[in-house]
């Protein structure tokens, strides 16, 4: 098996002389070994979109960026990607805003990207496409004659069959997936849903080895749960905790922390309501526990995001109005991003990490919270069963985020949990994070992609 270069394609290209971020850390090793190129949008808009190539001595990959027009940004990115696919894949078909021009530009941007890529890929390269913005890319590449191995990784959940039926172009959607050699998903339940979608189609044949065949194309679907750089994050948290100012608390008061982009999939209203339920049912905890919620704005041009923002402002206002006293504010709600190191220190200060998405591909906050803990006296993770992370993190307190009583009781249990149990749970979780970390994820995926048989031989 030859080792061709690696070609990574993602919506946003990591920019700057020293780009950081999970995916860059994940792929550094692979690029060090095989060399290659990363392709993605530049983040700029222009009416005559330019492409730029750059090679930086400190980076193990070359970069190729391309601009979008304002209309493409609105239709491809805000439109089809984030107003159709995102809500649908997160079980919120009711929030979809479908327009035929969204889909037309989504196809067009992917076709343009495929033309561009066809000019730069070498015969032995493997191509790894990231996430839901680029679903049609393999099909578009095949149409230009590219016959390389092409893999896809979906960072968000895969939708249920009935949700896929709500897609205006559900037939085409399955064809997009079938054009890949390997579709990687976060969790086993995502693989099951993809196979269910394949099974529902008379033109797709499920093979005994678990792969699926549509026409001339054979595709494998497997789960590769993404990890974090747990060792580095643990070091960062310990350092940040020592040097940074702490959240001021009253004597005996403890902190529950929630950290999310402000997205309707993250279950933040449920979280606030479950916290209110805790205060209602456990009056002995009033004044002794507060919730710090950090939720920076995201995709504010999309209406559903404006709605969730006002819902949370109202809810936190109501709860604080009903429960606060002169020295205690039950919910501290911060609608801003917080620097990564600061976040790590805050996780470490918090006695409970509360992660309650209603749908989530993985949820890295759950992993970061665990990695940030003091191993001698760790906090407790309360984690939604609906996060992909729940499949790996069975030693967290797993909850159904729709069941407010259950979440409130899990919080009470976490706050009262003896140190021995906290340590045992944390040790088991941490071992998983260190073994299945971010480098493990990319190695495992790329080994699988390089190993898939090409064609129907």
Query: Residues in the site for ligand ADP, rule: CB under 6 A?
Result: 259-261, 294, 296, 337-338, 343, 362-365, 368
What is the nearest approach in angstroms of ligand ADP to the Cβ of residue 291? 14
Task: Say how far residue 156 (Cα) sits from the centre of its chain.
Answer: 6
Q: Which sign, positive or negative, has the C-alpha torsion 137, 141, 142, 148?
A: negative
Closer CB to ligand ADP, 338 or 412, in the complex: 338
Closer CB to ligand ADP, 153 or 198, in the complex: 153
DSSP states along 10-29:
EEEPP-SSS--SHHHHHHHH
Q: Is position 124 annotated as part of the catalytic site?
A: no
Listing from the earlier edge strand, what are the strands of the sheet with 6-12? 51-55, 62-68, 36-45, 6-12, 126-130, 149-153, 182-185, 217-223, 212-214, 204-206
Residue closest to ligand ADP, measured at CB:
364
CA–CA distance from 353 to each of 109, 294, 350, 430 (Å)? Answer: 39, 12, 7, 14
What is the nearest approach in angstroms of ligand ADP to the Cβ of residue 22? 7
Closer CB to ligand ADP, 223 or 286, in the complex: 223
Q: Is position 282 annotated as part of the catalytic site?
A: no
Catalytic residue, chosen from 75, 90, 155, 426, is 155
H/E stretch holding 152 reads strand 149-153
Closer CB to ligand ADP, 64 or 294, in the complex: 294
- In 3-state terms, what secondary structure has residue 361? coil
Strands 217-223 and 212-214, by their bridges, are antiparallel
What is the nearest approach in angstroms of ligand ADP to the Cβ of residue 45? 23
The tokens describing 9, both together, are 């394609």
Q: What are the residues whose beta carbons fall under 8 Å from the beta carbon of 241, sequence distance 6 or more? A: 344, 345, 348, 349, 374
What's the alpha-carbon Rg for the chain, to the nearest Å? Answer: 23
Catalytic residue, chosen from 125, 360, 395, 437, is 360
Strands 204-206 and 212-214, by their bridges, are antiparallel
Closer CB to ligand ADP, 343 or 449, in the complex: 343
**Active-site residue set:** 155, 360
């Amino acid at each position: 098996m030859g080792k061709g270069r690696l070609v990574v394609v993602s919506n946003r290209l990591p920019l700057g002389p020293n780009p950081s971020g999970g995916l860059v850390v994940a792929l550094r090793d692979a690029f060090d070994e095989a060399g290659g190129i990363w392709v993605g949008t530049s983040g700029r808009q222009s009416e005559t979109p330019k492409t730029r190539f750059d090679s930086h001595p400190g980076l193990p990959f070359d970069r190729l960026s391309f601009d979008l027009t304002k209309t493409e940004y609105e239709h491809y990115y805000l439109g089809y990607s984030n107003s159709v696919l995102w809500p649908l894949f997160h079980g919120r078909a009711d929030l979809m805003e479908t327009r035929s021009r969204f889909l037309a530009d989504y196809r067009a941007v992917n076709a343009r990207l495929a033309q561009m890529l066809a000019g730069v890929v070498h015969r032995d390269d493997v191509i790894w496409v990231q996430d839901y913005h680029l679903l049609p890319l393999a099909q578009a590449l095949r149409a230009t004659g590219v016959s390389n191995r092409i893999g896809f990784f979906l960072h968000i959940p895969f939708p249920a069959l009935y949700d896929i039926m709500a897609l205006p172009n559900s037939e085409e959607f399955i064809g997009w997936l079938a054009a890949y050699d390997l579709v990687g998903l976060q969790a086993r339940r995502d693989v099951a849903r993809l196979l269910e979608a394949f099974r529902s189609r008379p033109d797709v044949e499920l093979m005994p080895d678990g792969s699926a065949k549509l026409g001339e194309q054979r595709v494998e679907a497997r789960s590769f749960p993404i990890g974090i750089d747990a060792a580095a994050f643990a070091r960062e948290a310990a350092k940040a905790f020592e040097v940074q100012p702490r959240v001021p608390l009253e004597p005996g008061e403890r902190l529950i922390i929630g950290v999310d982009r402000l997205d309707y999939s993250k279950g933040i209203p449920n979280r606030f309501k479950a916290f209110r339920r805790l205060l209602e049912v456990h009056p002995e905890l009033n004044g002794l526990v507060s919730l710090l919620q950090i939720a920076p704005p995201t995709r504010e041009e999309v209406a559903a995001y404006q709605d969730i923002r006002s819902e949370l402002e109202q809810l936190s206002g109501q709860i604080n109005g009903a429960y606060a006293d002169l020295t205690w504010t039950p919910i501290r709600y911060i609608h801003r991003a917080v620097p990564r190191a600061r976040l790590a220190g805050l996780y470490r200060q918090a006695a409970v990490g509360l992660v309650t998405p209603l749908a989530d591909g993985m949820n890295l906050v759950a992993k970061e919270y665990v990695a940030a803990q003091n191993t001698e006296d760790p906090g407790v993770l309360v984690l939604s069963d609906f996060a992909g992370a729940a499949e790996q993190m069975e030693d967290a307190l797993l909850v159904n985020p729709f069941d407010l009583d259950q979440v409130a009781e899990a919080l009470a249990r976490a706050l009262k949990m003896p140190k021995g149990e906290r340590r045992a749970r944390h040790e088991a979780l941490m071992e998983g994070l260190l073994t299945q970390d971010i480098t493990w994820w990319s190695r495992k995926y790329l080994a699988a992609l390089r190993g898939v048989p090409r064609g129907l031989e």
